[in-house]
Structure 1
Amino acid sequence: MNLRIRYQKAWGDTPFAFVNGTDSYLFGESLVSTFTAPNERVWFARYDYDFAVLGLPGLLFTARYVKGDDVDPELLTTRQAAALRLTGEWERMTDISYAIQSGPAKGLAFQWCNSTNRSIYADNANENRFIMRYIFNF
């Protein structure tokens, strides 16, 4: 069991700059939102549980919650931006994954990610992703 709480504050008149299609080092970046608005304040909580302690090695559960607020609405151009300072945006994500531990399929992993994002200055979104990974060792 592992619980982490983090805080991030941006300063400036523009969103955090990064090349489109890439990831940043910001911990608030999530499945739907980047939480990189001008002057945005971000609170982040993450809880991880490894089911190995219950005798189920390879099964992992993660829950994350990200809340962004305190954005200067004058720096945004959307119609709904004026209310952003009060309510901001939030995203809740849950992941459950399983990695095969032995045998010919060892290293094969499956992950289901679910995300709910609510924002007053961008479109709300619900997203599900199913990811299958296999690690090749050379």
Structure 2
Amino acid sequence: MTEICDPKLAEAFAAFPAGPRAGLLKLRALILRSAAELPQAQPLQETLKWGQPAYLAPRGSTLRLGCPRQGGFALYVHCQSRLIPDYLEQFEGLDRIEGTRAILFRSADEIDPIRHGWLIRRALTYRVRR
């Protein structure tokens, strides 16, 4: 896994409870791996938004990682985008979804590199197709 070089990002990940942190780090690795495979997603910016790890490609839509109040962890997308509706057209009924803004997870084992990688790649290239 790629080291977290920014001390503020490292602190944000360290602040998550251990169980969710493992899943969030797994999602981070999937985001970084997906971006590395997409020239149009370069350079990928890894930063903090609202205190949460956030990922933005030059012509993409922001992805955020965090822990919802009800527990577990989540992959957040821009709620006014078509990302979650398009995802549900492809993978309906396979995940816990929060409106048009997030996929919710209970454990790192629920992360599917194919399915969730599809959503991540769509987010990283969101404005390339529009």
- Larger Rg belongs to: 1
Same fold (TM over 0.5): no
- The higher-RCO structure (CA 8 Å, 6+ apart) is 2
Greater share of strand residues, 1 or 2? 1
- The TM-score by the shorter chain falls in which range? 0.3 to 0.5
Greater share of helix residues, 1 or 2? 2
TM-score normalised to structure 1 length: 0.32
TM-score normalised to structure 2 length: 0.33
